[in-house]
Structures are given as structure tokens and as C-alpha cells.
């Protein structure tokens, strides 16, 4: 989302790092460029103006440390101010006893999907969430929440389709909840294309009746400065306690994320990045500042991987690879693990420095269709062929190509890459080097690395997720 802003900041700071001495003039010149970059990223004007003033005040008055280059020190000041603008420390949900969470927002922001994502996350944290449908206007909204609830295995209260009194629905839902042994109630409310008095009054009545511990605004990060005015309006109406940004993985400029915290004074608590129901993450301002400045988010990457990959399966796969017994059955297992990671381009974007080289990698390398084609090739093999790829002679290759709907060239390429990888596994030094590199993933097309990958190398060793997390100062 922040790619254009990150590129502009990278260019400015690259020039700033080259100066031998920091003066008020070169700071002013650099901040002028940064201000333009922020405005182009759709950051609210007054927010950008105030932010630049704070950075300049600290940068001009800073005592330059001898051990740090002047330009690097300014980058550090900018990073800290950016993290502060985004909210400072991460703010968790404030729930005590039987917590009630009221979700509000405009149509299209993704409230219903976010309700499911939040329920899934709370469930993984040991809570017993319940979903309650309070959107009585949008067609099929109740059915949609029921479907989402089934996907995350969480009970859902669904009122009669003819009901129009949202407070009555909430009252009946509370009675129902007493029979469900739940400890967190998530209320999915109605939205509108625009904020109107009818929506506001309904929310006020529902909010007054429920008295929720958390009132979270679900806002589409792609709406730019418009999201800021929406946040102010909802806050004035019902007093929001936090914000959930959705579609943070999109191509929008990201100004909403940089403006909402400052304008409303309310923290961004979660961010949705992707369509899958497990893609709701805690919003850490310092990590987001790292990402905007192209420093990556290794902790976030490891947490995402740890949440979707079974450690025992990953270790078993590593042991097979290390022993040289890796076959196409193991390869299929690898592909299933990789598919659980979701958007590979987004995940790779958390690696420090990746944004600087991503333009050199064709989009096709991250195309999930390419992984499907690779999978189709393997599934077209007989069990014996998967166990012993060396028996796949020209006639067999022709049959596999026809069965998977690809060309013989693609079959040959996959077999060659697989063979090269097996040879590499027989050399401990080469294997260690490959597993220590950052690079392609199974099924991502191109040459080198795992079969079907784009570019050489492999991912970090996922077999010791606990070790990785501890090494980064985190706990799984």
C-alpha cells in the first residue's frame, strides 16, 4: 500500500545520507520533499504540516552523535516521529468479563468479513466469541455473517429477516448469548454508502443499550482522506475506542493510516491484509514505520508464518530434505504449506530491502495460477513417478503434459529444477547455503531454487519457529 510513499522517502533519505554535515537548509529541503510525498500519499494536510514541523524541530535541535552519520540520525528522528504519528505503542482490546464489541462503518469497508476475522483471532487467543447480526438493511447481510461464522466455527445469532428494530434484536441476542457460554460478543451493524442521520441515530440507540467495552470503526484504508472525515463523524456520534483498517494490502496510497490516529486520537488496533479470515493482525506503529521506510517487518513475517504453518510438519519436511529423500509427495506437502501463507508478494514485502528489488521480479512470479499449474503437473504423475522421478522418460512426460494441460517444456523445466535441487541436497554445504538465503517459494515460476520457483534460493528455515521468534525478542 505504501509503495509510492516508500519510494519517495527512500530517494529523499538516500540523498540526505550522503551529506557530511546536517544544516538547517538541507533539513528544510529534505522535509519539503517529504511533505510533498505525504500529501501525494493522501495524508490529511494539517496532519502532514504538523508532522513536518515536529520532525524539523527535533532534527535542527538534535546533537549529532559522532558514532552516527548525520543523515542516519535524521532518518531515526523521522522513524520515531512516524511511529508516534501512527499511535506510538500497540493498543490491545480492552475487554473485561463478558466483553461486547460493536463494529461500525460504511458499506464496503468490510465489516462483516472483519467480524469473522476478529472472531477467529480471539478464538485463537483462547476466547469464546459469539457473532451477532445487527445489519437489518443490507440484502443477505445476515446470511453472509452466518456463512462467515460457520467458516470460523463460531456461533452466530441471526434475527428474523422481517425484523427492523435493531435494539430489540440486540436484546434478544443477549438472552441467546447466555445459553452459548461465550465471553466476547461481536455485533455487526448496518452501514450506508454515506453517513446519514438515520444511521447515526440507530447507532446511538444501539450503543446506548449495549454500552460496549469496545466500539471499533472498520475503515477501508483505500478511501484516503475521506476515511478521516468518516472517523471523526462516527467518533462524535458514538465515541469510537479504536479503528480496524481493512484492505491494507491494496494499491491505495495509505494516507488514511497516517491520518486517522492523529485526527481522532483513537488507536488503530488491527489491520486486515488479505481476503482470508486469518489475515487480521495487530497494528504495531513502530513496525508499520519500519515498513514505510523500507526496513521490513521480520517479526511480523515470522508471526504470520508461525500462525499458518504447523511446526512439526515443517520440521519433518526439513528432515526429509536434509536426508536427500525428498520426492514429489514431499513437494506437494510443501506446496500446501506455502498456499496457507496467502499473498506471497505481501509476505515477501516484510523482508528488509525487498521493496528495492521487487520491481526486478515479474508479477508472474507471485501468480498463484503458476503454482496451480505446477501442482497439476505433479498430480498428473503416477504414484511410482512421484516417488522415483528418474523413471519419467519422454513418453511419460508427454502423457503428464497432456494430463495437466501444460506444455512438455513446462514438464521438462519442473523435472530439471527438481533434479537440480535433489543434487544440491546431497551436498550439506550447498543445502545449508540454499536454506539460509531469501528468495523464491515452491510453485512461483522461473529458474533456480525450489522447483517451480522464480529466482534462486529458499525461505528461512521454518523448522524452528520458536527459535526464530525468540531470536527476534518475541514469543510465539
Report the distance separating Cα 121 and Cα 140, nearest Å. Answer: 24
Report the distance separating Cα 75 and Cα 7, nearest Å. Answer: 14
Domain closes at, from 271, 295, 319: 295
Domain closes at, from 253, 273, 295: 295
At 473, the pLDDT band (50, 70, 90 cuts) reads very low
- pLDDT top residue among 267 and 61: 267
Q: Say if residue 243 is in the same domain as residue 227.
A: yes
- pLDDT top residue among 467 and 187: 187
At 30, the pLDDT band (50, 70, 90 cuts) reads confident
Partner residues linked to 132 by β-bridges: 157, 187
Write down the pLDDT at residue 188.
94
The side-by-side arrangement of strands in the sheet containing 184-189 is: 156-157, 129-134, 184-189, 99-104, 214-220, 242-246, 268-272, 280-282
Can you say which residues are annotated as belonging to the binding site? 105-112, 188-192, 246-249
The lowest-confidence range among 92-101, 175-184, 349-358, 383-392 is 349-358
Q: Say if residue 45 is in the same domain as residue 168.
A: no
Give 287's contacts (C-beta < 8 A, 6+ positions apart): 297, 299, 300
Write down the pLDDT at residue 229.
79
**Dihedral sign for Cα atoms in the order 218, 220, 226, 227:** positive
- pLDDT top residue among 427 and 74: 74
Write down the pLDDT at residue 56.
81
Q: Say if residue 74 is in the same domain as residue 109.
A: no
Roughly what angle, to the nearest 10 degrees, separates helices 408-425 and 394-404?
Answer: 120
Strands 280-282 and 184-189: unpaired
Q: Is residue 476 part of a domain?
A: no
Write down the pLDDT at residue 271.
85
User: Residue 108 region, left (φ>0) first, then alpha (ψ -120 to 50), else beta?
Assistant: left
Q: Is residue 474 part of a domain?
A: no
**Dihedral sign for Cα atoms in the order 138, 142, 147, 148:** positive
Q: What percent of the chain has pLDDT over 90?
A: 23
Tens digits of residue pLDDT in 103-148: 998 888 889 999 999 999 999 888 999 999 999 887 788 999 999 9
At 320, the pLDDT band (50, 70, 90 cuts) reads low
Q: Contacts by 319-328 with C-beta closer than 8 Å and gap 24+?
A: 319/463, 321/425, 321/431, 322/425, 322/431, 324/422, 324/425, 324/426, 326/421, 326/422, 326/425, 327/386, 327/387, 327/388, 327/389, 328/378, 328/381, 328/385, 328/386, 328/387, 328/389, 328/418
Write down the pLDDT at residue 41.
74
Q: Say if residue 447 is in the same domain as residue 424.
A: yes
Q: Say if residue 307 is in the same domain as residue 257.
A: no
Which range, 231-245, 282-296, 359-373, 427-441, is most confident?
A: 231-245
CB 9 within 8 A of CB 34: yes
348 pLDDT more than 70? no
Q: Is residue 313 part of a domain?
A: yes
At 458, the pLDDT band (50, 70, 90 cuts) reads very low
Tens digits of residue pLDDT in 355-397: 554 555 555 555 667 778 888 999 999 999 998 888 999 999 9
Write down the pLDDT at residue 434.
46
Write down the pLDDT at residue 51.
82
Q: Is residue 143 part of a domain?
A: yes
Q: How many domains does the chain have?
A: 3
Residue 115 burial (C-beta neighbours within 10 Å; 0-12, 13-18, 19+) = buried
User: DSSP assignment, residue 148?
Assistant: H
Question: By residue range, what is the domain housing residue 370?
Answer: 303-468
- pLDDT top residue among 318 and 435: 318
Write down the pLDDT at residue 19.
58
Report the distance separating Cα 323 and Cα 229, nearest Å. Answer: 59
Q: Say if residue 69 is in the same domain as residue 165.
A: no
Can you say which residues are annotated as belonging to the binding site for GTP? 105-112, 188-192, 246-249
Q: Say if residue 279 is in the same domain as residue 418.
A: no
Instruction: List C-alpha distances in Å: 93 to 145, 174, 247, 284.
Output: 22, 21, 20, 13
Write down the pLDDT at residue 231.
82
Mean pLDDT of 340-346: 59
Which range, 25-34, 48-57, 175-184, 358-367, is most confident?
A: 175-184
Write down the pLDDT at residue 340.
64
Mean of the per-residue pLDDT values for the chain?
Answer: 74
Instruction: List C-alpha distances in Å: 314 to 21, 305, 335, 342, 381.
Output: 50, 11, 12, 17, 24
Q: Say if residue 273 is in the same domain as residue 176.
A: yes
CB 309 within 8 A of CB 347: no
CATH number at residue 387: 1.10.260.30
- pLDDT top residue among 444 and 168: 168
Tens digits of residue pLDDT in 330-339: 787 777 776 6
Q: Is residue 90 part of a domain?
A: no
At 419, the pLDDT band (50, 70, 90 cuts) reads confident
Write down the pLDDT at residue 305.
54
354 pLDDT more than 60? no
- pLDDT top residue among 446 and 372: 372
Amino acid at each position: 500500500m505504501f509503495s509510492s510513499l516508500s519510494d519517495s522517502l527512500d530517494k529523499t533519505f538516500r540523498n540526505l545520507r550522503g551529506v557530511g554535515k546536517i544544516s538547517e537548509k538541507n533539513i528544510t529541503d529534505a522535509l519539503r520533499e517529504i511533505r510533498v510525498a505525504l500529501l501525494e500519499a493522501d495524508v490529511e494536510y494539517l496532519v502532514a504540516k504538523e508532522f513536518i514541523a515536529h520532525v524539523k524541530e527535533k532534527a535542527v535541535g538534535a546533537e549529532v552523535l559522532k558514532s552516527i552519520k548525520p543523515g542516519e540520525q535524521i532518518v531515526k528522528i523521522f522513524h520515531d516521529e512516524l511511529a508516534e504519528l501512527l499511535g506510538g505503542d500497540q493498543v490491545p482490546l480492552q475487554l473485561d468479563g463478558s466483553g461486547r464489541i460493536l463494529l461500525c462503518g460504511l458499506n464496503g469497508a468490510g465489516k462483516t468479513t472483519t467480524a469473522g476475522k476478529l472472531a477467529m483471532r480471539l478464538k485463537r487467543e483462547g476466547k469464546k466469541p459469539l457473532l451477532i447480526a445487527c445489519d437489518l438493511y443490507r440484502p443477505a447481510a445476515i446470511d453472509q455473517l452466518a456463512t462467515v461464522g460457520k467458516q470460523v466455527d463460531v456461533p452466530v445469532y441471526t434475527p428474523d429477516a422481517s425484523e427492523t428494530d435493531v435494539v430489540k434484536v440486540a436484546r434478544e441476542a443477549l438472552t441467546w448469548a447466555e445459553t452459548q457460554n461465550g465471553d466476547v460478543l461481536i455485533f455487526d451493524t448496518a452501514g450506508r454508502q454515506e453517513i446519514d442521520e438515520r444511521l447515526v441515530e440507530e447507532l446511538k440507540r444501539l450503543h446506548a443499550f449495549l454500552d460496549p467495552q469496545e466500539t471499533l470503526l472498520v475503515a477501508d484504508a483505500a478511501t484516503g482522506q475521506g476515511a478521516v472525515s468518516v472517523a471523526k463523524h462516527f467518533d462524535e456520534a458514538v465515541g469510537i475506542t479504536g479503528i480496524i483498517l481493512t484492505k491494507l494490502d491494496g494499491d491505495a496510497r495509505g494516507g488514511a493510516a497516517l491520518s486517522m490516529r492523529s485526527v481522532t486520537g483513537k488507536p488503530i488496533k488491527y489491520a486486515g491484509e488479505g481476503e482470508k479470515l486469518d489475515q487480521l493482525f495487530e497494528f504495531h506503529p513502530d513496525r508499520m514505520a519500519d515498513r514505510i521506510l523500507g526496513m521490513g517487518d521480520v517479526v511480523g513475517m515470522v508471526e504470520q508464518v508461525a500462525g499458518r504453518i504447523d511446526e512439526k510438519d515443517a520440521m519433518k519436511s526439513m528432515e526429509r530434505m536434509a536426508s536427500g529423500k525428498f520426492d514429489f509427495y514431499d513437494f506437494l506437502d510443501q506446496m500446501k504449506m506455502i498456499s496457507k501463507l496467502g499473498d506471497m508478494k505481501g509476505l515477501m514485502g516484510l523482508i528488509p530491502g525487498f521493496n528495492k528489488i521487487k520491481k526486478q521480479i515479474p508479477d508472474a512470479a507471485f501468480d498463484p495460477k503458476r503454482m496451480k499449474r505446477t501442482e497439476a503437473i505433479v498430480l498428473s504423475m503416477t504414484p511410482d513417478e512421484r516417488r522415483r522421478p528418474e523413471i519419467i522418460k519422454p513418453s511419460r512426460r508427454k502423457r503428464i503434459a497432456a494430463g495437466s494441460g501444460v506444455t512438455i517444456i513446462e514438464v521438462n523445466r519442473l523435472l530439471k529444477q527438481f533434479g537440480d535441487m535433489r543434487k544440491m541436497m546431497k551436498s550439506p554445504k550447498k543445502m545449508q547455503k540454499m536454506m539460509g538465503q531469501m528468495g523464491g517459494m515452491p510453485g512461483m515460476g522461473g529458474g533456480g531454487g525450489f522447483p517451480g520457483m522464480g529466482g534462486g534460493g529458499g525461505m528461512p528455515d521454518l523448522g524452528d519457529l520458536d527459535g526464530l521468534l525468540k531470536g527476534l525478542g518475541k514469543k510465539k
